[in-house]
């Protein structure tokens, strides 16, 4: 159950992704790399908050961290690829 609670972080990442996607439509193509940096910093802050707030309530902290790590890696990797592909298409 701890792994699933950590993996549920994907929901928060999805909301953040939609927000970044909306912003990416409004900015020029030169700013996409800055948006990726904002995404990584924002993800780091959200991961820290998720870990320190919910870490008190989980049974197995190791599985919880594994779930958070899986969600973070999968989310950051796919979003970075998406924004890089979009920036190439705008050129």
Nearest Cα neighbor of 36 from 6, 77, 4 is 77
Specify the number of domains making up the chain. 1
Is the pTM here over 0.85, yes or no? Answer: no
Of these ranges, 27-36, 53-62, 80-89, the one predicted with the greatest mean pLDDT is 53-62
Q: pLDDT per residue over 12-55, tens digit each?
A: 888 988 898 898 888 887 887 888 788 889 888 998 999 999 88
Domain with 44 in it: 2-90
């Amino acid at each position: 159950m701890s792994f699933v609670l950590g993996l549920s972080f994907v929901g928060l990442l999805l909301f953040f992704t939609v927000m970044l996607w909306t912003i990416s439509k409004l900015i020029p193509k030169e700013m996409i790399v800055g948006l990726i940096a904002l995404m990584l910093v924002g993800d780091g802050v959200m991961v820290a908050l998720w870990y320190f707030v919910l870490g008190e309530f989980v049974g197995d902290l190791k599985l919880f961290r594994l779930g958070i790590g899986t969600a973070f890696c999968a989310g950051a990797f796919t979003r970075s690829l998406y924004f890089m592909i979009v920036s190439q298409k705008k050129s």
